[in-house]
Amino acid sequence: MKIQLKLYGSSKLLSDKEILNIELPKNSNIETLRNALSKIISEKYLKDKLQNLSKTSAFFSEDDEVINNKYKLKDKELISIIPPIGGG
Amino acid sequence: MTLHAAIVKIGEKKISSDEAKKFILSNENGAESIFVGRVRNENSRKKVTAVTYDAHDQAVIKSFHSICNDAKSKFDKSASIFLEHAKGYVPVGEISILIAVSSGHRDEAFKICRYILEEIKHQSPIWKKEHYAEGKEEWLPGHSLRPKEEIK
């Protein structure tokens, strides 16, 4: 299955595009997505800049609700990654 | 209407304190408190030239409304609030955030202004990327919205 990850903040270092398509095994959840992200960060040699991104980020569903690790992802679902925030 | 909350895309519109003052003006509210946040030229001994603000627009607006309504419930239900935050590339000296509050009395006006600013830092999905004079840029660390007990 594939999910679309909408990038915000520091996660934009992962791609020049706003959305990163990620291939995941069937029946994946947010925990699986976190593991896949860690792998992508290593592969892109971004560990020094995004060391804790997969661990510290929250994820929003399409209706902007925070979703936890057990949330089951659907094929082609659009998820937003919310790295640690710091506005104001 | 006693609440205005918006994300302002740089290049489309300017954050204006005159507009804010006009919005909060009310014969019932005798106190006004205005906070203006601007991009400053230094952070952690690095010379800053600008900050790029990124935001999850829908979630930010939702959080702004929730924070402002909480502030009114806590301190003064009759308060008028104007809140705008910049999105995009903001050079040094330009406004990044403006909070204007009018209230019945000064104490409530100050408290509401402060409460909104602190809560935005902890609730609103906004990110900062600093641009430095030496040519480098860096996303700043922040506050995780993931429940603490889940982060091992």
Name chain B contacts of A33, Cβ cutoff 8 Å: none
pLDDT category at B149 given cuts 50, 70, 90 is confident
Q: DSSP characters for B85-97?
A: EEEEEEETTSEEE
CATH of B3-136, one of 3.40.50.2000, 3.90.1170.40, 3.30.70.20, 1.10.600.10: 3.90.1170.40
Q: Do residue B59 and residue A56 have CB atoms under 8 angstroms apart?
A: no
Q: Over the stretch A27-71, which tens digit does the pLDDT of each residue have?
A: 999 999 999 999 999 999 998 889 899 999 999 999 889 999 999
Q: Do residue A86 and residue B144 have CB atoms under 8 angstroms apart?
A: no
Averaged pLDDT of chain B? 96
pLDDT mean over B17-31: 97
Spatial separation of the C-alpha atoms in residues B129 and B116, rounded to whole Å: 22
**Contacting A residues, span 3-22, partner chain B, CB-CB under 8 Å:** 8-10, 12-13
Q: Over the stretch B74-108, which tens digit does the pLDDT of each residue have?
A: 999 999 999 999 999 999 999 999 999 999 999 99
Return the domain boundaries, chain B: 3-136
Closest to B70 (Cα-Cα) out of B119, B33, B104:
B119
- Is the full-model pTM beyond 0.90? yes
Of A64, A68, A88, the CB nearest to B59: A64
Q: Evaluate if residue B142 carries a pLDDT over 90.
A: yes
CATH of A2-82, one of 2.60.40.3500, 3.30.930.10, 3.10.20.30, 3.40.50.300: 3.10.20.30
Spatial separation of the C-alpha atoms in residues B30 and B59, rounded to whole Å: 32
Q: Which helix (H) or strand (E) holds B21?
A: helix B17-24
Tell me the ipTM for this assembly: 0.93
Give strand pairing partners of A2: A23
